[in-house]
Amino acid sequence: MENFEQRWAKVEELMLERFGKLPDMEGILFLIGVNEFGNLPRRKFSKEQKQDLMHVAVCSLLSRRGYFEYTGRDEDGWPHYAPVQSVEATGLAAQEQVLKECVIEYFEL
């Protein structure tokens, strides 16, 4: 199996190929959130909706590891998740590492 750095480099390469530039982690989370939301409105997302999309992405990614559970969609089509257990990673660097691992797994599927 390839190491973490090689696998992350493949995700970055995918982003460059699809979008012509490399988004930061917030940009990647936004893209995942949009993908998970599915129904794109004809208008642009508000700042609050963009934050909500990143939250959806984090919950979706962490649900793959059992930290959250998908509970369904609301009347506006937004996916919702319930916390199941706490993430063991403490500190910003450790939390970002967990998110990067989940992003890698998301794009490898």
pLDDT in tens, 29-81: 999 999 999 877 667 888 999 999 999 999 999 999 999 999 999 998 899 99
DSSP string, 51-90: HHHHHHHHHHHHHTTTSEEEEEE-TT--EEEEE-S-----
What residues does 70 pair with on adjacent strands? 81
What pTM did the predictor assign? 0.90
- Alpha-carbon gap, residue 90 to 81, rounded angstroms: 21
Query: SS3 helix, strand, coil % of the chain, rounded to 5?
Result: 60, 10, 30
* pLDDT in the model for residue 44: 84
pLDDT score of 1 more than 60: no
Q: What is the CA radius of gyration of the chain?
A: 14
State the pLDDT at residue 11.
94
Q: Tokens 């969609």 sit at which residue?
A: 73
pLDDT at 90: 84
CA-closest candidate to residue 54, choices 78, 26, 77:
26
Instruction: Tell whether the model's pLDDT for residue 85 goes beyond 80.
Output: yes
pLDDT bucket at 109, cuts 50 / 70 / 90: low
Using alpha carbons, list the distances in angstroms from residue 72 to 36, 39, 65, 69, 99: 12, 15, 18, 9, 22
